[in-house]
Amino acid sequence: MHCLDFTEDITLRKLKAPVSQTKEENWPIMKERLRQLIHGALEDAFRAGALTSNEIPEIQIEVPANSEHGDFASNIAMVMARAEKKAPVLIAGLLVEALKGSELFMRVEVAGPGFINFTLTPSCWFEVLEQIHAQGPNYGTSNVGQGRRVQVEFVSANPTGPLHIGHGRGAAIGDAVSQLLAKVGYDVCREYYINDAGNQVVLLGRSILQRARELQGQQVDFPEDGYQGQYIYDIAKAFLNEQKDLTSLSEDEKIKLCIGFGVQYVLNWLTRDLEAFGVHFDNWYSEQSLYDNALVEKELAKLQDLGLTYEKEGALWFRTTDYGDDKDRVLVRSDGSPTYFASDVAYHMVKFERGFETLIDVWGADHHGYVPRMKAVLAGLGHAPEDLEILMIQMVNLLRAGKPVAMGKRSGEFVSLREVIDEVGRDACRFFFLMRRSDSQLDFDLELAKQKSAENPVYYVQYAHARVCSINRNAKELGVHLPENGKCATENLHLDEELAITKLLARYPDTVVGAALNYEPHRIVYYLQELASQFHSYYNRFRVLTDEVNESLGRLYLVNSVRIVLENALNLLGVTAPEQM
């Protein structure tokens, strides 16, 4: 039985990660403590005969959406109702009576159809603030990844022209996913795959050569499918400056020279633009090197040995239909030349051989048709489907004040990533790319991204950080120093708003884990907006620095906890946390 259901695999967007069981994170630990308490109460109930099923199902603890439902809630009574043949509310009532005693809780109660709601004491929560100050930049770090090696391959744009806006979204997401995974304890390698072999670069070489001839005043016919962009002239000019005499060379040799020059030229360009975007790679992997080192041959031979291929009409085929693809795919053409698929298969096989346990590919959504064959390759080689995760990045619609910006691909005149960065700035650009989940299309409004107003979510969040810094400057002038002793400081926090902010801060590490394991950086964006919103609201209602010294110290401690988390989260997304705006 080879057949796999790929619709399942694709929607299964999870890393194989152990359930979070980290040591000092308040949040998971709190859930675990609750779980044990409930477990104990159930055992007691069985022993006393109050409950009879003698089976304890998985105990789910969740954070209710509505804070009126407490800090945590469990549905255990409803889950057990059937086996117990009792109303959920009855079972819940029984458990509540048993749990009421614990000093952790301010309240334990039955609610709704049979939920048990738990509310912890404030002092329990305020310990989180001490933890934030103690850990600083490391607050939010965890070890769910346990050092497992993950490779994230992203951007990987052909070295034949400038990066466009779509590559930018891929870059922002690939980088953020990498940072998230590193943050939760994976050993992450960021890689750029350079398609420097094959027709695309030959075409680049020919385009450059013809433009060079034009520049020398020769009459030429430009290749019909050549690269039309203006930038080819720039490359040709640079090429002419460097090459003295080509006359002795054959046409093929000339093209070859142009390819080498052009690819290097464009790569320098890509590196520079990505650098300007704050994205760097641990490794640049050349497709051509796969051929130069005979790795394509070697890996194809392995596939043949495994009986995964066959020959038909002079070509070599991969039997991908055995693993859920709708047709078999050609690896080597009838003229003996390998397809792009061949090197891509070899590349992915080599990735595993290099020791990566999980591979993440970030692709443009227009390549989604390619997913089944790539998954098929893995299945054929005995890998689990989730060893390769393919993130589809949907299109970006570039707008200017609500109106679409025209992008004519044919003429080669499209809006480049560089232009957008130059216009709206790196921070806004990154933030916007990460605002939506990657598999939904993104409207990117240049005017909005530039706007310095509340409508612009980037500024909204950054402003919150700058405001705390401003308070710190004022505090310094007043001679008020951030308390060393967090316990004393938090004893001065009494407001509901302060407790609510603290609970939100406590949720940060869990949010990071969730975002990382699901490859969803946008969750961090939403978290940031929520935190900034609560802070702005608090700031407007209450003064931090008042006549009351102890009160000021407590509040200063709190808002600086907010500042630390804002900075950590922004940095995770590659966005700066300004001290002044």
Partner RNA sequence: GCGCCAGUAGCUCAGUUGGACAGAGCAGCGGCCUUCUAAGCCGUCGGUCGAGGGUUCGAAUCCUUCCUGGCGCGCCA
229 to 288, contacts with RNA by CB under 7 A?
none
Q: How far is the CB of 492 from RNA (least distance, A)?
A: 15
| Binding region for RNA (CB under 7 A) out of 33-41, 137-145, 272-280, 436-444 | 436-444
Segment interacting with RNA, rule: CB under 7 A, options 125-133, 216-224, 247-255, 453-461 = 453-461
552 CB-contact burial (10 Å; exposed 0-12 / middle 13-18 / buried 19+) = buried
Q: Which amino acid is at 412?
A: G
Edge-to-edge strands of the sheet including 115-120?
61-62, 72-74, 115-120, 105-111
Reduced to 3 states, what is the DSSP secondary structure of residue 153? strand
Only segment of 70-78, 137-145, 180-188, 376-384 that touches RNA (CB under 7 A): 70-78
| Listed ranges 95-103, 131-139, 374-382, 461-469: which one lies at the site for RNA (CB under 7 A) | 461-469
Q: If binding is defined by CB under 7 A, does position 289 make contact with RNA?
A: no
Regarding 370 and contact with RNA (CB under 7 A), the answer is yes
Residues 372-391 that bind RNA (CB under 7 A): 372
The answer to whether the beta carbons of residues 490 and 554 sit under 8 Å apart is yes
299-318 mask for RNA (x: CB under 7 A)?
-------------xxxx---
Residue 142 binds RNA (CB under 7 A):
no
Q: Which of 419, 418, 367 is nearest to 393 (CA)?
A: 367
Q: What ranges in 49-164 are assigned the alpha helix state H?
A: 76-84, 88-99, 122-135
Q: Which residue's CB is nearer to RNA, number 216 or number 474?
A: 474
Q: How far is the CB of 408 from RNA (least distance, A)?
A: 14
Element housing 378 (H / E): helix 371-380
266/419 Cα distance (integer angstroms): 16
Tokens (6 digits) for 277:
């975007």
Q: Which helix (H) or strand (E) element contains residue 244?
A: none
Positions 483 through 502 that interact with RNA (CB under 7 A): none
In the complex, least distance from residue 351 CB atom to RNA, rounded to whole angstroms: 18
Q: CA-to-CA distance for 168 and 446, rounded, in angstroms?
A: 14
CA-nearest of 162, 156, 155 to 194 is: 156
Nearest-CA neighbor of 394 among 444, 356, 322? 444
Q: CB-wise, 210 or 343, nearer to RNA?
A: 343
Radius of gyration of the chain (CA): 29
Interaction of residue 471 with RNA, rule CB under 7 A? yes
By CB under 7 A, the residues from 309 to 368 that bind RNA are 312-315, 326-327, 329-330, 333-335, 339-341, 365-368
CB of 485 to RNA, least distance (A): 21
Choice from 205, 385, 457, 486 touching RNA (CB under 7 A) = 457
Beta carbon nearer to RNA, 66 or 248:
66
User: Residue 56 burial by CB count (10 A; 0-12/13-18/19+): exposed, middle or buried?
Assistant: middle
Residues 169-228 that bind RNA (CB under 7 A): 195, 197-200
- Using CB under 7 A as the binding rule, whether residue 107 contacts RNA is answered as no
Q: By CB under 7 A, how many residues form the interface with RNA?
A: 102
Interface positions, 530-549, toward RNA (CB under 7 A): 533, 536-537, 539-545
Tokens of 56: 């304890």
Residues paired with 315 in a beta bridge: 312
Q: Is 522 in the site for RNA (CB under 7 A)?
A: yes
Q: Residue 164: in which H helix or E strand, if any?
A: none
Decide whether 280 or 452 has the Cβ nearer to RNA.
452
Nearer to RNA, 241 or 580 (CB): 580
What is the Cα–Cα distance from 460 to 419, expressed in whole angstroms?
24
Contact status: 11 vs RNA (CB under 7 A): yes
481 binds RNA (CB under 7 A): no
Q: Which residues from 386-425 bind RNA, rule CB under 7 A?
A: 392, 394-395
Place of tokens 């695999």: 9
Q: How far is the CB of 10 from RNA (least distance, A)?
A: 5
If DSSP codes are grouped into helix, strand and coil, which group holds residue 335?
Answer: coil
Q: Least CB distance from residue 465 to RNA, whole Å?
A: 9
Q: Could you say which residues in the range 27-66 bind RNA, by CB under 7 A?
A: 60, 62-66
Q: Return the DSSP state at 565.
A: H
Residue 14 makes contact with RNA by CB under 7 A: yes
